[in-house]
């Protein structure tokens, strides 16, 4: 059984020399990314199309395995965190989230 995340969870994400490719014969998409996402706050990731934002998210969720490097959350290597624990504790707001469009009609007397 996978060990639980350390409690209370601070939420610091350490990304160390992350190198990710989609297949062995394909070039690296992430070429040695190292950074720390502080716990307790929201972090925005920006970059032009194709720069690897979604790829990073897939590595965080362990949808793709890095070729080199690793990700640590609160001191625990994500490969040691159960998939359900990992995925249920990460919140991602993608680009172009569906927001309300247009004007909102005021309605009175109904809910």
Ligand X SMILES: Nc1ncnc2c1ncn2[C@@H]1O[C@H](COP(=O)(O)OP(=O)(O)OP(=O)(O)O)[C@@H](O)[C@H]1O
Structure tokens at 87: 């995925």
Q: How far is the CB of 47 from Mg ion (least distance, A)?
A: 9
Q: How far is the CB of 42 from ligand X (least distance, A)?
A: 18
For residues 100 and 48, what is the distance between their CA atoms, to the nearest angstrom? 25
Answer yes or no whether residue 49 interacts with ligand X by CB under 6 A. yes
Answer yes or no whether residue 29 interacts with ligand X by CB under 6 A. yes
Residue span 46-65 as binding mask against Mg ion, x where in contact by CB under 5 A, dash where not: -------xx-----------
Q: How far is the CB of 9 from Mg ion (least distance, A)?
A: 26
Q: Measured at the alpha carbon of residue 51, what is the angle toward residues 45 and 55, in degrees to the nearest 5?
A: 75
Per CB under 6 A, which of residues 52..81 are in contact with ligand X? 52-55
Residue 2 has, within 13 A of its CA and on its CB side, a CA count of 14
Answer yes or no whether residue 51 interacts with ligand X by CB under 6 A. yes
What lies within 8 Å, CB to CB, of 2 at 6+ separation is 80, 81, 82, 83, 85
Binding footprint of Mg ion on the chain (CB under 5 A): 53-54
């Amino acid at each position: 059984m996978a060990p639980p995340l350390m409690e209370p969870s601070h939420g610091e994400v350490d990304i160390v020399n992350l190198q990710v490719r989609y297949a062995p014969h394909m070039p690296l998409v992430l070429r040695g990314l190292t950074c720390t996402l502080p716990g307790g706050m929201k972090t925005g990731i920006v970059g032009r199309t194709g720069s690897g934002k979604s790829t990073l998210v897939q590595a965080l969720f362990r949808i793709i395995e890095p070729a080199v490097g690793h990700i640590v959350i609160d001191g625990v290597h994500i490969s040691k965190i159960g998939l359900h624990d990992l995925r249920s504790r990460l919140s991602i707001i993608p680009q172009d989230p569906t927001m309300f469009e247009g004007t909102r009609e005021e309605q009175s007397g109904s809910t």
